[in-house]
């Protein structure tokens, strides 16, 4: 109960901009630094071949959401619901292949599948696709992992199946490798880590 209350208070602090005042000497950037255009993950290419309606869209204008208290509640609700509902399973156990991205409609999936479901739920609820970016990182074990970056006027926040909390990207402990471009979901940009992400992130 106290932990939950603490998270709520932390969220309010972020939304009111109090964190910026409290951390006046904090040099952590609100937004990740973008690099050059890079290759899309193999899993995304295969997912788009199987689900073209999820990958439509040509170039558009980047859009950030306004991180209101209602938006913050929605993000936490979606993150929690998907994390609780989908059960972890590797692609090999699930599909008999090393890497396959899919919407976890049968209730099982790995990290990319959690991300795809969260992205779809938010888009279906009216959130702009340009603010919801599938992101490849190296996790705390230096293994490949996928999360959803939400770009907002308060910075970039991460929805992750490894934690119930929605965190600023700088507080995840991850190294960010690449993500979708805001202007085109089928264009991917590097995020300053030259080491390649692992081919698969198993059931993380």
Q: Is the pLDDT of residue 193 over 70?
A: no
Q: Is the pLDDT of residue 99 over 60?
A: yes
Q: Is the pLDDT of residue 168 over 80?
A: yes
**d(C-alpha 72, C-alpha 59), whole Å:** 27
Q: Tell me, what's the pLDDT at 26? A: 54
**d(C-alpha 111, C-alpha 87), whole Å:** 10
Q: How would you list the strands of the sheet with 144-152, edge to edge?
A: 37-38, 188-190, 175-180, 132-138, 144-152, 155-159, 167-168
Domains of the chain and CATH, by start: 28-190 (3.10.620.30)
C-beta neighbour count of 194 within 10 angstroms = 7
Q: Tell me, what's the pLDDT at 12? A: 52
Kindly state the percentage of the chain with pLDDT values over 70. Answer: 81
Q: Is the pLDDT of residue 131 over 90?
A: yes
pLDDT average, residue stretch 112-141? 97
Nearest to 60 by CA among 153, 180, 177, 192: 180
Render pLDDT for 33-80 as a digit per residue (tens, 0 to 9): 999 999 999 999 999 999 999 998 777 888 999 999 999 999 999 999
pLDDT average, residue stretch 187-191? 96
Task: Categorize the per-residue pLDDT at 194 as very low, low, confident or very high, splitting at 50, 70 and 90.
Answer: very low
**d(C-alpha 13, C-alpha 33), whole Å:** 25
Q: Tell me, what's the pLDDT at 69? A: 97
Nearest to 204 by CA among 150, 155, 148, 160: 160
Strands (E), 80-166: 87-88, 108-109, 132-138, 144-152, 155-159
- Between 6 and 106, where is the model more confident? 106
Task: Please give the model's pTM, rounded to 2 decimal places.
Answer: 0.84
């Amino acid at each position: 109960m106290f932990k939950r209350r603490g998270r709520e208070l932390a969220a309010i602090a972020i939304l009111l901009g109090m964190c910026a005042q409290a951390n006046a000497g904090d040099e952590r950037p609100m937004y990740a630094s973008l690099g050059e255009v890079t290759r899309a993950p193999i899993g995304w290419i295969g997912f788009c071949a199987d689900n073209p309606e999820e990958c439509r869209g040509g170039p558009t204008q980047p859009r950030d959401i306004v991180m209101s208290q209602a938006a913050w509640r929605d993000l936490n609700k979606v993150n929690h619901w998907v994390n609780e509902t989908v059960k972890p399973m590797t692609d090999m156990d699930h599909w008999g292949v090393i890497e396959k991205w899919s919407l976890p409609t049968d209730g099982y999936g790995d990290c990319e599948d959690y991300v795809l479901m969260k992205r779809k739920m938010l888009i279906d609820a009216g959130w702009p696709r340009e603010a919801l970016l599938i992101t490849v990182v190296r996790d705390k074990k230096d293994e490949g992992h996928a999360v959803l970056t939400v770009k907002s006027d308060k910075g970039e926040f991460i929805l992750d199946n490894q934690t119930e909390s929605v965190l600023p990207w700088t507080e995840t402990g991850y190294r960010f490798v690449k993500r979708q471009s805001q202007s085109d979901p089928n264009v991917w940009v590097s995020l300053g880590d030259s080491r390649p992400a692992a081919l698969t992130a198993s059931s993380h």
